[in-house]
Amino acid sequence: MLREMEEAGRRVVVSAGADPEGIRIERRAELRYAGQFHDLEVPVPLRLGPASGEELRHRFEEHYRTLYGVSLNGYPVLALNWRTLVVGESPPMALGRDRRPPRGEGRRRRPIYLPGEGFTEVPVYRREALPTAAVIEGPAVIQEDEATTVLWRGDYLSVDPQGRLRIAVGGA
């Protein structure tokens, strides 16, 4: 079962561009004492054999003892869930400016709620219309298809050469 989960995870990670040689696998099990409702996540050895059940029990009891100061020797230990984490390094991202043409005028106004001030009309900018090195003082709203960024009073936003939004937070 764990090998099947690992192979499925490998396929997903490699299809996302990870180097197959750099993939890291972690196995974990959620265990608890019979009759209890709190489970603990414990690492599962990558190589399983005849003594693996006792090894898991030992890891669980040590973790339980660390958290609660005791272990319940003799109580049955139940395995509730088995997890496999498959991690691969993603290839470097080449960040650049969005080359889509700006939509509309790129700027309009709308009311937003500002704590302590109530509803206040603020400028709204389309992110893809912001040029490199643009600086915007809050309050303002930056809209794009995937997200909305709100600048509060005292915040400053700048667009770096890679098109990332850099925000200096001005207040609490």
Instruction: Give the global pTM.
Output: 0.53
Distance between CA atoms of residues 93 and 45, nearest Å: 34
Give me the pLDDT at residue 101, please.
Answer: 39
8 vs 134, more confident? 8
Residues 11 and 83 in one domain: yes
Domain span at residue 75?
A: 2-87
Residues 28 and 70 in one domain: yes
Residues 10 and 76 in one domain: yes
Q: How many CB atoms lie within 10 A of CB 77?
A: 19
pLDDT tens-digit readout, 6-51? 999 999 999 888 899 999 999 999 999 999 998 999 999 888 899 9
Domain count, the chain: 2
Q: What is the mean pLDDT of residues 110-121?
A: 92
Give me the pLDDT at residue 161, please.
Answer: 83
pLDDT tens-digit readout, 50-100? 999 999 999 999 999 999 999 998 899 999 999 999 999 876 655 554 444
Do the Cβ atoms of 86 and 19 come closer than 8 Å?
no
Residues 33 and 75 in one domain: yes
